Amino acid sequence: MGWRYAGFRLLLNDKFRRLMGENMEIAKPLEGVTVLDFGQVYNGPYCGFLLAQAGARVIKVESRVGEPLRTRAQATSASYPFSMLNGGKECITLNIKSDEGQKLLRSLVLKVDVLLENFAPGTLRNYGLGGKDLLKLNPKLIYAASTGYGDGGPYRDYLGMDITIQAMSGVMSITGEDSGPPMKAGAALCDFLGGVHLYGGIVSALFQREQTGFGAELDISMQDCVFPTLTTALGAYFLAGEQKPRTGNRHPGLSAAPYNVYQSKDGYVAMICIRDGHWRKLCSAMGRPELADDPRFVDMKSRSANMELLDESITKWTIELSKEEIFKKAQEHGVICAPVQGLADVVSDPHMHERGSLHWTHNEILGETVLMSTPLRFKDQSPPPLKPVPRLGHDTNDILEEMLGLSRKEIDELRALEAI
């Protein structure tokens, strides 16, 4: 259908909604867009998931043995990530190392709007299937690649995974306590930031194509994507002229207080006061209004200078209460606070379930699990229902028949040649 058709249909749907009533469901933002998703592990597949949830037709393309996360997806933690990131996609196999597989890809590229991948730089180019090669065949194609360090510069060929990007980007150097080694963030931040930026680049390129009629080749570097998260730490660095010691849960520049995680009777809570008014509200919540005018805590500069004493005073209050009690008092007094939730809390979070962000589902390996919907929401539009991931190559026959007009005999011959 193409992006132009999808955008036109969105405009028509909006006009029909105004004529027919507000309850009419309009087209998804990316309906009419077809994507070949060569993504593997987290980065590319998350981009593909977001595209599918926005209404695009996403065809996951894997080798004949499956992408790495699928092949690890037995009774391991990998089975959950694979299910979470690949629902709502069709699945085909394609052997890009074979001549016939390469011919198939060149034919498929003529039928799609986007090809996304997060291979090592130059992987597809080595087979004559890089961005410039495929754009010659389909000038309207969006060829979108995400790699550790981008497709240029001295780091180009360095292999990049989340932990190594956290190390190279500076994230690990500012994470943890000064008394210990650098620490990585527990979440796979770099992979998913890369996926989000890849998605943003694709949507931007589709919009540009509306204006120019031409596709684009995208080069997304995970290192580039992570750098902006250092903003606070970099501010402290340039102010001091050197990198200060790691500060654990405290403000990276040690210039805001309270700003920490405080122990309760049954866990921890996080609290921050960014204005003097917030500090006064916390003093009221603690039943210690006199602390607000204590010369040691009267303004942010004083509180930061007396951070140890300040945190001790707050902990004397929090240690006597449960997380729920502290959070309730904080909400009553307008204090910025949140309990530190464990994974069991997070997957059952009532707010996220009520918003439709999380859905309980049955996994044949893990039992009852939670799957996520897209964080990208549009008013008056519901995300598509979550679907299980097809088995490896489940849709290969149907897609080759539909898109390329191949007969069942021709498909069987390709399978015998190990092209699919």
Catalytic residue among 37, 162, 191, 311: 191
Please tell me whether residue 285 adopts helix, strand or coil conformation.
helix
Spatial distance between the Cα atoms of 38 and 50, rounded to a whole number of angstroms: 14
Q: Side-chain half-sphere of 344: how many Cα atoms within 13 Å?
A: 0
Other residues' Cβ atoms within 10 Å of the Cβ of residue 292: 16
| Structural Rg of the chain based on CA atoms | 26
Give just the sign of the alpha carbon dihedral 120, 123, 125, 126.
positive
Spatial distance between the Cα atoms of 248 and 307, rounded to a whole number of angstroms: 13
Spatial distance between the Cα atoms of 224 and 200, rounded to a whole number of angstroms: 14
CB 389 within 8 A of CB 86: yes
**Alpha helix stretches (DSSP H) within 139-226:** 162-169, 189-212, 222-226
Identify which of 198, 190, 192, 186 has the alpha carbon closest to the alpha carbon of residue 165: 190
Please tell me whether residue 74 adopts helix, strand or coil conformation.
coil
Identify which of 342, 317, 319 has the alpha carbon closest to the alpha carbon of residue 265: 319
Annotated active-site residue 191? The verdict is: yes
The residue assigned the tokens 């290969």 is 396
Other residues' Cβ atoms within 10 Å of the Cβ of residue 46: 26
Spatial distance between the Cα atoms of 406 and 104, rounded to a whole number of angstroms: 11
- Residues with a catalytic annotation lie at 191
